[in-house]
Structures are given as structure tokens and as C-alpha cells.
Amino acid sequence: MVFNVLREIFPDKRLKKTHSLSSKDLKYPIIASYRHPLDVMASLLQCQNLKVNDAEIKKQLFLLYKNGILDILEFKDRPNVLLLRYERFSNDFDYLFSEIEKFFEIQIPGQLRASLQSTYNIHNVKTSINSDLDFSYHDKKTLLHGRHISKFEGKVYYYKEFFSHNQIDYLAKNLAFFMDEMGYEINKN
């Protein structure tokens, strides 16, 4: 959602969407969205249609670290970084627009706001991308991929419905540093 909103707000700018950063990226404005890591893990398993077992969880956890989940901790306090917490913006476009406006010192016209909200709300994104397509399929313009929206439709803290208590404990232990740094807690209820 964030990438596509930015792409339409700044149609003449070159944007880079990535899950990890290099040192050369740090000289540019950075919009970093982040999400509860257990929801991220559940999403990774679902969108790739993987089994929810201990071996696959360990494999995906390794890949999550390898692909840069900790990068955000290295740059989150820089003045050229806007942090956007998924749980705060996912269902609140006004908040998202307001944060982008403050960060870039711009005004997003009301008509563009309405268009972006209509186009990129979770229900319209779900209908725009074929959920039967494999995860490896990517739309070249929007970068949305097959199975981008799961049956949980972007729900916040759905990991509680997805993982067992033991799996939650394992993931919480292995993601504790990130969770502490980013202000996340575990709630099994």
C-alpha cells in the first residue's frame, strides 16, 4: 500500500521498494513500514502456501533475518527516515497521508486522497490481484504479487489465530530483540 501511494503522489520520482537497505540508500528519504513480526511470519507462510510446522517456521525465521528485518533498527532514528507502523496506518489512510505530508512538507489534494484510498484499500487490492496466481507472480507496476492478500485480509495480530501457543513462544523468543526495539508485545488472547 505505502509504495503504491507514494508512487502515485510522486509520479515523476524514482522509487525503490526493498526489504533491506545498503549504505548508499541512506542518503535518500526513506519511508520504512514495519509490522508485528509474528504477523509477518504468518504472512510469509501463507503467501508462499507453506506448511505451518516447526521446520518451516525455523526456515522462514532464518530468511526473515537474512533478508534484513534488523536493518530498520540501524536507521530508524535518522532524520531522513519516516517510520510507518502497519498497525497504525493499515486501516487509516488519513493518518498515512498526514505522515507523508509532514515528512515531505507537501499537501496531498483531496481528490488524490480519495482516489488512493479507493484504489489501495485492502478489499479493492484483493480484487485487483488474482489470488489464484502463484506468489512468484509480480505485477510490474504495483509490485503486488499473487496471494498478496490472505484470508485474514491484512488483519492486525492475526498470528494468534494462525500459530499454536508453542509456536508463538518460539517466535517471540527468537524475535524478542526486534520486538523490544520496535515496541511490540505478545498477546496470545
Residue-wise pLDDT tens digits, 149-164: 555 556 778 888 889 9
Give a yes or no: residue 101 inside a domain. Answer: yes
Ranges 21-25, 79-83, 161-165: which has the least confidence:
21-25
CA dist., res. 84 & res. 26, Å (int): 17
pLDDT for res 48: 75
Q: 10 Å Cβ neighbour count for 101?
A: 14
Query: What average pLDDT does this structure show over 123-128?
Result: 61
Give a yes or no: residue 107 inside a domain. Answer: yes
Q: Does the pLDDT value for residue 145 go beyond 50?
A: no
Give a yes or no: residue 105 inside a domain. Answer: yes
Give a yes or no: residue 189 inside a domain. Answer: no
Cell triple for residue 126? 484483493
Domain count, the chain: 1
CATH of the domain at 133: 3.40.50.300
pTM of the model: 0.81
Give a yes or no: residue 56 inside a domain. Answer: yes
Question: Mean pLDDT for the chain?
Answer: 84
Please say whether the beta carbons of 52 and 161 come within 8 A. Answer: no
Q: Name every residue whose Cβ is closer than 8 Å to that of residue 123 and which is 6 or more positions away in sequence.
A: 153
Residue range(s) defining the domain that contains residue 126 = 2-182
Query: What average pLDDT does this structure show over 42-52?
Result: 82
pLDDT for res 146: 46
String of DSSP letters for 139-181: -TTT--BTT-S-TTTT-TTTHHHHS-HHHHHHHHHHTHHHHHH
